[in-house]
Amino acid sequence: MWFRNLLPYRLEGSWNLAPGALEARLAERPLLACTGLAAESRGWVSPRDNAQLVYGQERQMLFALGTETKLLPASVVKDAVKDKAAQIEARMGFKPGKKQLRELREQIEAELLPRAFARRRMTRVWIDPVAGWLVVDSSSPKRGDEVLSQLRDTLGECPFFPLDTVQSPVVAMTQWLSAGRAPGDFALDQDCVMKSGGDDPAAVRFARHGLEGDDVRRHVKDGKSVTQLGLVWKDRLRLVLAEPGVVRRVRFEMIEQDRAEHDGRGNADENFDADFRLMCAELGELLAALTQALGGPVSR
């Protein structure tokens, strides 16, 4: 249940849906299996593998977008087109042209797609209407766009927008690394990626390496910008901040240690309630601190 990646969106306007009302709306667009020639389908699924589409606690809401994708490897289609083209050449005495090959590919994809294996994935979403956050458990902006697009189709509107801060993460991270320290309750960790400008940028990556030394800061002096930076927050969370404001590889170190020591105590529902409460509190505070460290949000 713990989010490992944070793709944050800010609430611009109002959010009046309670968990029960949101559940009723999501239930109108559940995930359905891909049928016929459909290569992909999207819909809402339970974030807990039960019948409940929205889990709510103290106005915090957790739900999930499900995606089913047909797996049709390009190599399989390519081989089938090649075999079919060889048959046509043997029968007609000449090789198929580009147009005929394109039609062959479309025909073969239409024949194979209904029999292709399907893969499902789930993307969890957390809404904090009090603090004004929607957070997608993903490091991919494309995945976030899918969630917001599906919400818009389901609700008719989606008053959440990508977090825009006064200072861009790249500029801020570059300044922090150059200074050898991060602001507030943040501290530099041991991971960093820097890139130079231009059409063919050079990249330097440090992993499990102290970032306060001159060997690291020399790359900033040479004109490279920081695109990923490992941070520690309050000695409780480890994370990697990356452009364009994505938080990756979140580790709840103190909480995970405490959970390991108390593993097996309490029933599943009680543990889920406690974990969700803790996660919301920690991530809510983290996002507020991170936004402040980047100069605050830019209002639309």
**What is d(CA 115, CA 36) in angstroms, rounded to the nearest whole number?**
9
Contacts of 198 (CB under 8 A, 6+ apart): none
Q: Which residues pair with 10 in a beta bridge?
A: 133, 161
Identify the CA nearest to 109 among candidates 70, 147, 157, 66: 70
| CA-only gyration radius of the chain, Å | 24
Predicted local distance difference test score (pLDDT) of residue 296: 94
Report DSSP letters for 237-250, one per residue: EEEEEETTTEEEEE
**What is d(CA 130, CA 11) in angstroms, rounded to the nearest whole number?**
10
C-alpha count within 13 angstroms, C-beta hemisphere, residue 257? 5
Q: Mean pLDDT, consecutive 10-residue segments, the chain of 300 residues?
A: 93 91 96 83 93 93 95 82 83 83 83 81 96 96 96 94 94 94 94 87 88 84 92 94 94 71 70 91 96 89
Decide: helix, strand or coil at residue 185: coil
Predicted local distance difference test score (pLDDT) of residue 201: 81
Which element (helix H / strand E) includes 25?
A: helix 19-26
Judged on CB neighbours under 10 Å (0-12, 13-18, 19+), 300 is exposed
72: DSSP letter: -
**Cα torsion angle, 137, 142, 145, 150, sign:** negative
Within 10 angstroms of residue 272's Cβ, the number of other Cβ atoms is: 16
